[in-house]
Amino acid sequence: MPRQAAVESDAAGQPLSVDGEDVDAVRESWLVEDRWWTDQPLRRRYWEVVTTGGRNVVVYRDLVEQGWHRHA
């Protein structure tokens, strides 16, 4: 289950740090826009990043609610 994350990002929305760990590299970035016809529309910008600690982390910004989340 995704959980809330503390993410700092640049003007383009690219993460600079995730939960206090700096981002070393962006591996992938993708966009999900779906279920717009339902009561629970989905708009998320995903980032798969490698932190300076060497971890592969997937975070997303919820573009409807504007919060950051990370997958465990």
Q: Catalog residues that contact other proteins under the rule CB under 8 A.
A: 12, 27-34, 36-37, 39, 46
**Residue (30 or 55) nearer to other proteins, CB:** 30
Shortest gap between Cβ of 22 and other proteins (angstroms)? Answer: 21
Q: State the minimum distance, in angstroms, from the CB of residue 71 to other proteins.
A: 12
* Residue ranges with strand state E in the chain: 3-4, 7-9, 15-18, 21-34, 42-51, 56-62, 68-70
Closest approach of other proteins to the CB of residue 20, in Å: 26
- Helical (H) or strand (E) element with 15: strand 15-18
